[in-house]
Amino acid sequence: MGGITDFDSLRRAMAENSERPEGPARNARAEQLLVEAERLGIPLAVIEALGHQLKVYNYSSEKDRMFVPFARLLRMWDERPEDFDEYEAHSLHWVFKWVSAGMLDQPHVPLASIEKWLGEMEHRYRLAGHSERAVRSAEFSVAAHIGDIARAERAYAAWLAADRDGMADCPACELHGQGWWQAERGRDAQALLLWRPVLEGEFTCAHEPHTVLASSLVPLLRLGRTDEARANHLRGFRLVRSMESMRGAYADHVEFCALTGNEARGLELLAERPAYFTDTGQPRSLLDFLSVVTLLMERLDEAGLAEREVPGPAGRRWTARELATHARAEALALAARFDERNGNAYVSERARARMAQRPLVERLPLGVRATRPVSAPPPTAPAPVTSDAPDLPALLAEARRLSHTLQPNAMDAWAAVSRAAEGVELDARDRAEIADHEAMDRGPEGAALFERAAELYAEADDLGEALAARTRAAYVRALLGQVDEALAAVVEPYDQVLALYADDATGVRQTASVLMGRARVLMRRVQEAGEPAEETVLADAENAVRELLALVGGYTGDDVRIAAREAEAQAMLADLAVRGGDLETAVELFGRATAGFVGAGLPWFAVEYEARLAGLAHHLGDISGAERALRAALEHGGAHLGAVGRAQLHLQLAEVLGGRGLSVEAAEHALEAAHWADEAGEGPTLGAWARQQLGGFLLRQERWAEAAEVLESALPDLSAETHGDGAVVQTQWWLGDCLSELGEHREAAERRLQAAEIAKEWPEQHDHATLAHLAAESLGAAGLPAEADQTYARAGQLWRSLGNVHGLVRSLRARAWLALRAEDGAGAARELMAGAVRECETALGTAGGDEEARQRLVAELGHTHRQFGDLLARSATEDADDDSIRAALEDALSEVTEAIAVFTSLGDDALHSRTGAELAAGWLEADLARPSRAATHARTVLAAYDGADPEDETAQSRQAEAEQMLQVVEEQTAD
């Protein structure tokens, strides 16, 4: 390929290729560069090109190709070591470790050859004066791979005992290997202790903490530390997702999904990396991958999803059962090749054990979006009634017990009675109850059945229950929008039941049932009337409810159905109070209602009203009250809550806790909300809300990688139509913040610009300006100065239009620094910074009487002078003549002196800013060979911090720098 004309251009091309994504394209470019290096006729160029080729092969799926360039490098070293510079000599010995590990990964390389290679490595390291630490580490890898536990333990101990030197793996990689062995031997807690410095970011490298995060997943699950496992999965998968060479770590994440009830996410992971099924360059990681594919597919088979279509090797469609069979056969065939090479069955045994694992957690919500494998399985056919099944009288007795005590599963019991009663002759009372409960189960379609139940109750001489059933039929019509017809239909049952009750011809329960039905119909009329309802409509409903309360209020019997009527009546009055705008009274009444249900032993009925109570309390600013109500709702709902209800309650509680700053617990509830929304099939709507909130709570905890994974997962489902464009902008904004913290600056800029494009349509432009400014910061950090300058200019125009001087000044300062980085950009940089100074001074000249705002402007002016001084100092390039450098430093000193004066005018509030400027001025005086003036600045700083708090880190740092300056100027004076 053209463009390589000399050694420098070759080196630049190799550096550029190193930055490309792992994979065949990068490998092919390395091969082309080797050809170009050979044309230069420079031995060191060929050596460096071979080293580059070896490196890209090692970090790719074509690891098996690195042996050829290494053999050539080794031959060149043996023939002409003087052709290698110090760096390349070190690199040659360094990659001995890669080659030994690479041999283990290839089952066609004989074990005897690997052992011989170990000896060769030990010999060459000794000749080069290196520690045996890397050799013992390599020996440990061989012994652990073949299952020679005793030798592995000896080598492990020798590895740790040997001195660390320049040939030892980096601390992060060493700790990964050491922890892996502890976990392999069942010492999970010890493994995690070893991994802690890597997990906490103390030690990192190109592949760490990537592999430690992956390796930690199963040990954490085995120890029951599920929250950490979830976090490490979200953090770690994000790191390995785009790295082709990390199939083994990727497999660990698939395994995690299979062991935690997240099979759907496991399938998504497989779909992202189809080449992992067939890449053969590293057979050992292929074995790992196929083993966990087998595990995942067999989990799906156990769940009844064997015929589910799943991602698999390209070229055909796969079901879970087919892929399980294929992957198991391929994995065991590979394992057998290793066993044949190693002379035992150890690799096959480990592969079978991995495939046979059982779930370690039944359900571990992850918070990220995942398509469920299938919808809920179809209901199974009811079991036939056999001689072993309860007889019909027993089923009837149980159904009556459950319905009389208002148990949630009463309808299921009556459905069982109905099935058992088919073809059986029953009396009118039994048939009435069966029809009545079937009508309740049908909801809006039950009116006719309620009428039939009423006829059967009348036939059974229970006129009160017949009237109650007729009232229930009327309420069903009201639910269907036929409110007037329903009101007409309840008149006769209402009059008749009151007459019966007066004559002691029916009981309180039946009478209360009719009065409740009538009240419900009238409440339905209130709802249909909209806002505001006529006073007569409200009054009729309230009178009906109070009539019911007069009947059942203060009931002390043991019939929970009557107690439930009183509680529901209190909730109706609460609804009416809300309609009337009396929210405090509504809160009190909802409280009575929920207490009534709980006191009657019916806590699940309280949930709806506790949720209403929470909403009202929140609206009234009673955050603690809202929190109590939501916690009670979750507790009282228990297993009886539907998935949607759970999701809604958890999400509401998350928002309340988040508003109190309790982001850790808020995140836990948002996580549960996302899970239950997905379970309910509401992932794109309610689930997206929950994920958006979860991402925000994780961001508050500075869990950047987890937050980014969750927010990216939420974005595809968030839409302006469903969730509002504000939610979309906020999500993009948060995601940009996360990506910025993770160093993914180009991606952060994209997110921030996308959010800005939406916000630019809003009437208020502050968010638009802020997002544009943040996007410019990201573009600058991404090494795109032209794009950054253009975006800062856009932000500056917006800040100016908003009258926000601070934003405008900061955009000008940022543009000045960008200009300074450009070739011949010093003049433009000066002009931009001078413009920032002018904007501050103009704003101060027109400032009104707001002293606080004025002080902020003065501080901004001080910081601008200080930055102007720093910029001028840096503009003095080393290749300029002495006069130009001196002039630049004098100009810089003038600006810093101005900054000192401005900060001094602010008093103690600007102490740290002033002393920072004093030190900057001191160093400039020293550079200008004026040591006495520099010393004056240093002593001024020391005096400013005389008696400073020892815990004040800034004060201690400033004092230390001032002492250093005095030492430097003393040396200058002496010279």
Q: What is the mean pLDDT of residues 86-106?
A: 85
Radius of gyration of the chain from its Cα atoms, rounded to whole angstroms: 38
Residue 633's Cβ-count burial label (10 Å; 0-12, 13-18, 19+) is buried
Task: Enumerate long-range contacts of 482-485, CB under 8 Å, 24 or more apart.
Answer: 483/521, 483/524, 483/525, 483/528
Sequence-distant (6+) residues with CB within 8 A of 366 are: 230, 233, 234, 262, 265, 671
Q: How confident is the model at residue 376 (pLDDT cuts 50, 70, 90)?
A: very low
> Tokens 């062991």 sit at which residue?
259
- Render pLDDT for 9-26 as a digit per residue (tens, 0 to 9): 999 999 999 988 888 899
Q: How far apart are CA 754 and CA 775, in angstroms?
A: 9
Residue burial 511-543, b: 16+ Cβ < 10 Å; e: rest: bbbbbbbbbbbbbbbbeeeeeebeeebbebbbe
- Render pLDDT for 178-189 as a digit per residue (tens, 0 to 9): 999 999 999 999
Q: How confident is the model at residue 947 (pLDDT cuts 50, 70, 90)?
A: confident
Q: What is the mean pLDDT of residues 364-385?
A: 58
Q: How confident is the model at residue 2 (pLDDT cuts 50, 70, 90)?
A: low
- Render pLDDT for 585-605 as a digit per residue (tens, 0 to 9): 999 999 999 999 999 999 999
The whole-number pLDDT of residue 878 equals 67
Give me the sign of the Cα torsion angle 216, 221, 222, 228: positive
Contact in structure between 47 and 265 (CB atoms under 8 Å): no
Give whole-number Cα distances, 950 to 146, 202, 389, 945, 947, in Å.
57, 27, 80, 10, 8
Helix axes 263-272, 247-259, angle to 10 degrees: 160
Q: What is the mean pLDDT of residues 93-114?
A: 87
Q: What is the mean pLDDT of residues 375-404?
A: 66
Q: Range with the lowest mean pLDDT among 93-97, 109-113, 654-658?
A: 93-97
pLDDT at 77 over 60: yes
Percent pLDDT > 70 in the chain is 97
DSSP 432-453: HHHHHHHHHHHGGG-HHHHHHH
The whole-number pLDDT of residue 381 equals 40
- Render pLDDT for 339-356 as a digit per residue (tens, 0 to 9): 999 999 999 999 999 999
- Render pLDDT for 740-764 as a digit per residue (tens, 0 to 9): 999 999 999 999 999 999 999 999 9
Task: Enumerate long-range contacts of 584-592, CB under 8 Å, 24 or more apart.
Answer: 584/620, 586/616, 587/613, 587/616, 587/617, 587/620, 587/622, 587/625, 590/616, 592/567
Q: How far apart are CA 91 and CA 82, in angstroms?
A: 15
Phi first, then psi, for residue 894 (nearest 5°) are -60, -45
pLDDT at 690 over 90: yes
- Render pLDDT for 775-813 as a digit per residue (tens, 0 to 9): 999 999 999 999 999 999 999 999 999 999 999 999 999
3-state secondary structure of 309: strand
DSSP state of 390: P
The whole-number pLDDT of residue 99 equals 82
Q: Mean pLDDT for the chain?
A: 92
Contact in structure between 920 and 902 (CB atoms under 8 Å): no
pLDDT at 919 over 90: yes
Q: How confident is the model at residue 374 (pLDDT cuts 50, 70, 90)?
A: very low
Residue 319, H or E segment: strand 318-319
Percent pLDDT > 90 in the chain is 81
Residue burial 127-147, b: 16+ Cβ < 10 Å; e: rest: eeebbbbbbbbbbbbbbbbbb
Q: How far apart are CA 600 and CA 604, in angstroms?
A: 11
pLDDT at 162 over 80: yes
**Percent helix / strand / coil, the chain, rounded to 5:** 75, 0, 25
pLDDT at 677 over 60: yes
The whole-number pLDDT of residue 386 equals 42
Contact in structure between 50 and 65 (CB atoms under 8 Å): no
- Render pLDDT for 232-246 as a digit per residue (tens, 0 to 9): 999 999 999 988 889
Q: What is the mean pLDDT of residues 133-157?
A: 95
The whole-number pLDDT of residue 74 equals 86
